Amino acid sequence: MGTSIVGLGMTELGRVYGRSPRRLAADAVRLAAADAGLALGDLDGLLVSHGMGGSPGIELADTLGLRDLRLLALVNSYGATAGAMVSYAAMSVLNGSATTIACVFADAPLKPEQSAGSAYNRSSREWYGFGGMTAALGLRSVNSHYALAAQRHMARYGTTSEQLGAIAVATRAWASGNPLAQMREPITIEDHQASRWVSEPLHLLDCCLVSNGAIAVIVTSADRARDLARPPVHLWGWGQGHPGLRKERGSDFGLATGAAASGAAAMKMAGITTADVDVCELYDCYTYTVLVTLEDYGFCAKGEGGAFAASGALGPGGSLPTNTGGGQLSAYYMWGMTPLSEAVIQARGDGGQRQAPSTDVILVSGNGGILDHHSTLVVSPHEKGA
């Protein structure tokens, strides 16, 4: 017996105000159930993930009026959570713990009349202990830590800012065909280079958006999926990687990530190699994250991610369509639900202007923390082995 994603629910995404994360999450679950042709009472499992605001939690079950659940949990591996939730849901279906499980992420960090950049800022009062030492040295934001990782890759392999820019340009080209994308105006390498520094070597166009909203998916058995409303998206494989790298001399921080272990596990379970992958939906909190993930998955050799991106492989018409909805850089930032939702859209053939030419095998990544956590899914519109 296999497992499948049978429902996708997406609220409005972006500068969406007036609804709490819990309400957004409830709306997304309702939309996912309706998409699958299910009633809320058909759900016997709920996995919940929230952003930095700390809501919603498992009380979402009460908000939705769910009763007699066989599986209920709050899951958090930061940006790797969506892939982890789906794998836990699939395993629960396979072992009989539950039959029909909703997985949902919601967040609302944006506030009216507040800049997107300030949404994740920490107060100086939150720095204490040894964490205060890194803040005193200038590493006061996630941007700074990822800039350090990108700088390490550049120093070791000669990766350039223009090569990172090629990822931003390709992603925006895909976003132009996505009516839900927040940023659809095409950009050039020159635009990328002219955008302001956020934390050198990362320009503004190297960094993801900040968004409010919620996305949910529903996982059930492949047997049951055949009788539901929408084409099922079959789960072929999954894996995780949590390398625990320290930012210290001699470590591989910035050079390697948990994508290596996570991707290898997922592809082995799926019975595929990178040569079989038609589309990648990769976690792109920064352009650099895409580059290092492609390397660690084995789509190119270590240190060659920049040249691979600059070749045009990732954009429309390229050999490896990547982040076909515009990703987190140009579409919307819903942690790991951003790449997962686009994978479902592509596998169903619902991409419209941005539909990739072939979607038999889609690789989905999630990245959490400062390259600390990674999840990978392999999905397909076809049942495994069919």
What is the residue-averaged pLDDT of the chain?
94
DSSP labels, 285-298: SBHHHHHHHHHHHT
User: Catalytic residue among 157, 283, 286, 288, which?
Assistant: 283
**From CA 85, how far away is CA 376, in angstroms rounded?**
11
pLDDT at 120: 63
pLDDT at 123: 45
**From CA 131, how far away is CA 43, in angstroms rounded?**
42
On the 0-12 / 13-18 / 19+ scale of CB atoms within 10 A, 195 is: middle
Q: For residue 106, which of 63, 164, 66, 151 has the smallest C-alpha distance?
A: 63
Q: Flag the least confident range among 50-54, 226-230, 347-351.
A: 50-54
pLDDT at 114: 72
With 0.85 as the threshold, say if the pTM is over it.
yes
Active site (annotated) includes residue 333? yes
Specify whether the CB–CB gap between 215 and 206 falls below 8 A: no
Q: Flag the least confident range among 136-140, 195-199, 212-216.
A: 136-140
Confidence of residue 248 (pLDDT cuts 50, 70, 90): confident
pLDDT at 137: 54
DSSP β-ladder status, 279-281 and 71-74: unpaired
For range 266-283, the mean pLDDT:
98
Higher pLDDT residue, 113 or 162?
Answer: 162
- DSSP assignment letter at 246: -
Sign of CA dihedral 347, 323, 293, 220: negative
Model pLDDT for residues 329-350, shown as the tens digit of each residue: 999 999 999 999 999 999 999 9
Say whether pLDDT at 130 is over 80. Answer: no
Specify whether the CB–CB gap between 331 and 181 falls below 8 A: yes
Say whether pLDDT at 280 is over 60. Answer: yes
User: Catalytic residue among 146, 157, 286, 333, which?
Assistant: 333
pLDDT at 126: 54
Specify whether the CB–CB gap between 271 and 386 falls below 8 A: no
Task: Reduce the secondary structure of 321-369 to three states and give it as a string.
Answer: CECCCCHHHHHCCECEHHHHHHHHHHHHCCCHHHCCCCCCCEEEEEEEC
Model pLDDT for residues 281-321, shown as the tens digit of each residue: 999 999 999 999 999 999 999 999 999 999 999 999 999 99
For range 138-151, the mean pLDDT:
86
**From CA 96, how far away is CA 3, in angstroms rounded?**
12
- DSSP assignment letter at 196: P
DSSP labels, 88-105: HHHHHHHHTS-SEEEEEE
Task: Give the number of other CB atoms < 10 A from CB of residue 265.
Answer: 17
Say whether pLDDT at 209 is over 90. Answer: yes
On the 0-12 / 13-18 / 19+ scale of CB atoms within 10 A, 86 is: buried
For range 364-380, the mean pLDDT:
97
